[in-house]
Copies of this chain bind each other. A is one copy, B any other.
Amino acid sequence: MLSRIDHIGIACFDLDKTVEFYRSTYGFEVFHTEVNEEQGVREAMLKINETSDGGASYLQLLEPTREDSTVAKWLAKNGEGVHHIAFGTEDVDADSSAIRDKGVRVLYDEPRVGSMGSRITFLHPKDCGGVLTELVTSAEKH
């Protein structure tokens, strides 16, 4: 069951500059940074609030690390902005399987490793009203 807004993924050209914008404008601090080589992104997670399911909601700021990454291609087409949204669940495997059975395209055969050791998958934006939608099970839950 999807039980929280886990994060909003925001694509940017310059991660350090964008982190500084969110810090100086709103006071949001970096909770975690990492490079995901598979996704071709360098990212910063800013924790905004905790949630009633025992998790939290983050902004995920994403800078591409190579020109052939999906985020780099998305930025070239769209410019900076909201790239995807993510819902948190205790069981991404079961939920993505159930959603696939409803006819929504799930982009990975099996969930992969996401931010902070989570397990993630994505749903096709054309099946979700134009919204690239991620499902996340955080590391402590799987």
Task: Write the residues of chain A forming the contact surface with B, with a CB cutoff of 8 angstroms.
Answer: 1-5, 8, 10, 12, 18, 21, 24-28, 48-53, 57, 59, 79-82, 85, 87, 99, 102, 104, 125, 128-131
Residues of B within 8 A of A59 (CB): 5
Q: List 22 A-B contacts (CB under 8 A).
A: A1-B27, A2-B48, A3-B48, A3-B49, A4-B48, A5-B48, A8-B85, A10-B129, A10-B131, A12-B129, A21-B128, A21-B129, A24-B102, A25-B102, A26-B99, A51-B52, A80-B129, A80-B130, A80-B131, A81-B131, A82-B85, A82-B131
- Identify which of B24, B52, B102 contacts A49 (C-beta below 8 A): B52
The 10 closest A-B pairs by CB, nearest first: A81-B130, A80-B130, A50-B52, A4-B49, A82-B82, A49-B51, A5-B57, A80-B129, A49-B52, A2-B26
A125 near B52 with CB under 8 A, answer no
- CB neighbours of A128 from chain B (8 A): 21, 25
How many copies make up the complex? 2
